[in-house]
Structure 1
Amino acid sequence: MHQEVERHLRVEVHVPKSYVIPTSACARYHPVGTLQLMRALLVVNPAATTTSARTRDVLIHALASEMKLEAVTTEYRGHARDLGRQAAESTDIDLVVALGGDGTVNEVVNGLLHAGPDPRRLPGLAVVPGGSTNVFARALGLPNDAVEATGALLDALRQGSERTVGLGLASGTPGTEDEAVPARWFTFNAGLGFDAGVVGRVEQQRERGRKSTHALYVRQALRQFFGEAHRRHGTITLERPDVEPVTDLVLSIVSNTSPWTFLGNHPMYASPKASFDKGLDVLGLSRMTTTAVARYGTQLLTSSPERGPHGKHAVSLHDLDRFTLHSKVPLPLQMDGDHLGLRTSVTFTGVRRALRVIV
């Protein structure tokens, strides 16, 4: 256990239920590394699956001992987004720390960037992983353990270690029935079709009280596969300016980084070349028969940073700035592991250097 966190283990800290971010005329930014001057907002998801209330209190105290910290526990879906937006609009917050899973991080990011990216003006982002998978934090190279990650965060802040990462932006396509759908940022991946259907099934099970485990995902993936009406002939078309469209896709995974996800401690690389420093990557499959799923599923399980799924029915595209996915029928959409309902058309944009993160 990291010593900077361990020394606070016997301290109980009260986390206020609500917090109104103050505003003032003072400058927002203090250079990373000057911890005692730094003003931070900690957004805590109390439903985070891998952190107990006592662990969260310990982490809060460890952070509060090093900087000017205010903490708030989220109370409803979208609360983290609202807090991120308040932080972006205030002049008193230098850093927002998200303690939770990928969904909490996504909400905070969408709040911070509600008026668009501006890394020099906006607060930086730090992540303490508390979810079941924590793809964004792990893709940044952070430990998957919340205590270790807090220690690493404090070290990074002292050393002034940060990077500016690219993000994905998904929006309704002009001239379609989805054109009025609000744009939304994502940090590591999005999907239209099969994988989003799996995410939706998992969310339904969690609402019924099931725990988010890897076994649950596997079971729901099998149910989605056998219930997939278009697995032999896909309905998705990928369109790019001045390029021949890619048609008849059953599955489309959009990646902003690699790996795509983790199965326990095992990384899975849908688009091995995807990077926070480049545009977006796409993996598309045009066939999902039993044979095809066995082949590509095995390739995904054995994938590496050098090689992902490949073959006759696989399409891999790298470093795209902008493209649109159209479907002949409404299909489920997910971003960063959150199910967002059904869509027929989504336009994706890779936005480079969108957000400062502490690493």
Structure 2
Amino acid sequence: MRVMLIVNPFATATSPAGRDALVNTLSAHFPVDVEHTTHRGHAGELGARAVADNYDAVIVHGGDGSVNETVNGLLGPPWRSAPTRLPALAVIPGGSANVFARTLGIDPDPLQATRQIIDLLDHGSHRRVGLGHSADRWFLFNAGMGIDAIIVHAMEDKRHAGKAATPARYLRTTIASFLRNARDTKTFTVTAAGHDPVEDTRFAFISNTSPWTYLGRREIRINPATGFGTRLGVFAATSTGVLRNLPLATRLVAGRTPKARHLFRDDDVAWVAFAAPEALDVQMDGDYIGAFTDIRFDHRSDVLDVVAPAGEPTVNR
């Protein structure tokens, strides 16, 4: 078995000693070619090389951004036919949220996850999952326009300033961004397959699976019935008012089905399009990708082979 290990040495929850320990653990079971990312987009370049060099598996040790880059490198742009032979993807969590790995049922502890991945590879435990995509980029678990993209943008600015992306800082940034933008008048239109357009939308999320994210150990499920076996989930709100959204946020934190008069939600649609009169922030998998006036999200089933337990469990610790 040919295995490439892609390591992001700058990921939030990694350390030199931890990386050495997991490399040693993996190398004791099969030969591993270790590649450290050095710049933005490098994981994508390594993913593409893994396909060209016929690796059997690619293991990513990093956060959701590194996994997203790797997947885009493995598959190439959505408008192009994917390679006929792809390495299986495995993830050893190394970021602050690790949404994709946790949703697959991978242990959040890197060393425990390493042993789990070895066992899954030994037993050939793979799953095919569907992905969401825009015209030129794949996403694994979520995308959005509006407040979540504003929060992601703010967190990236903090990381560039040398501040760690801790759960506490993310929560503070979320609250501050929501309060700061509560009276923002910018809106856009959300159109989902089979539905009338939702005008005057203030923020909207697209899900490829559930949970949408985690608040520490707590799962936040904005589209509870969306999963890797369904199409996309859409969650669009026409208000950023604190009083109107506080009950909705309370339901989400409590694990109850999200409901509100200003909320449009569908857990299984073929596509979703956003259209805005002026460019608004957009994020994919927790990565700020820029400001857009028009962007469409589609779904493609059974596109990626992942190393994971059978079924669709989540690890909630």
Pairwise TM-score range, normalised by the shorter structure: over 0.9
Q: Distance in 2 between matches of 1:308 and 1:142?
A: 25
Q: Percent identity?
A: 40
CA-CA distance at 1:47 after TM superposition: 0.8
Q: Structure 2 length normalisation: TM-score?
A: 0.92
Question: What corresponds to 1:282 in structure 2?
Answer: 234
2:27 to 61, 64, 79: 64
C-alpha spacing 1:72/1:299, structure 2 compared with 1 (3 Å): same
Larger relative contact order (C-alpha < 8 A, sep ≥ 6)? 2
* Structure 1 vs Structure 2 CA RMSD: 1.6
Does 1:259 find its partner at 2:223? no
Offset of 1:39 from its aligned partner? 0.2
Structure 1 residue 96 corresponds to structure 2 residue 58? yes
Match of 1:73 among 30, 33, 36: 36
Give me the TM-score of the superposition, normalised by structure 1: 0.82
Deviation at residue 58 of structure 1 after TM alignment:
1.2
1:164 lines up with 2:128 in the alignment:
yes
| From 337, 340, 343, the counterpart of 2:289 | 340
The alpha carbon displacement at 1:89 in A equals: 2.1
| Structure 2 CA distance for partners of 1:147 and 1:104, relative to 1, 3 Å | same
What amino acid does structure 1 have at the position aligned with 2:19?
A: R
TM-aligned CA deviation for residue 118 of structure 1: 4.5
Structure 1: which 5+ runs fail to align? 1-37, 172-182
8 Å Cα contact 2:280-2:293 kept in structure 1 = yes
Query: 2:204 is matched by which residue type in structure 1?
Result: S
Alignment of 1:95-134 (within 5 A): 95-114=57-76, 116=80, 118=82, 121-134=85-98
C-alpha displacement at 1:219, in angstroms? 2.1
Q: How far 1:117 moved relative to its partner?
A: 6.3
Q: CA deviation at 1:324?
A: 1.0
In the other structure, the counterpart of 1:176 is none
- Residues 296, 241 of structure 1: alpha-carbon distance in 2 compared, 3 angstrom cutoff: closer
User: 1:1-359 maps to which residues of 2 (within 5 A)?
Assistant: 38-91=1-54, 93-114=55-76, 116=80, 118=82, 121-171=85-135, 183-228=136-181, 231=184, 235-240=187-192, 243-303=195-255, 307-359=256-308
Aligned mates of 1:277, 1:235 — CA distance in 2 = 31
C-alpha displacement of 1:322: 1.8
Q: Is the 8 A contact 2:75 2:83 kept in 1?
A: no
1:247-298 Cα offsets, whole Å, 9 max, x none, are 1111101001111111111111111111011111011111111201211211
Judging changes above 3 Å, is the alpha-carbon distance between structure 1 residues 339 and 263 closer, same or farther for their aligned structure 2 residues?
same
SS at match of 2:71: helix
- Give the distance between the partners of 2:181 and 2:4, measured in 1 at CA: 43
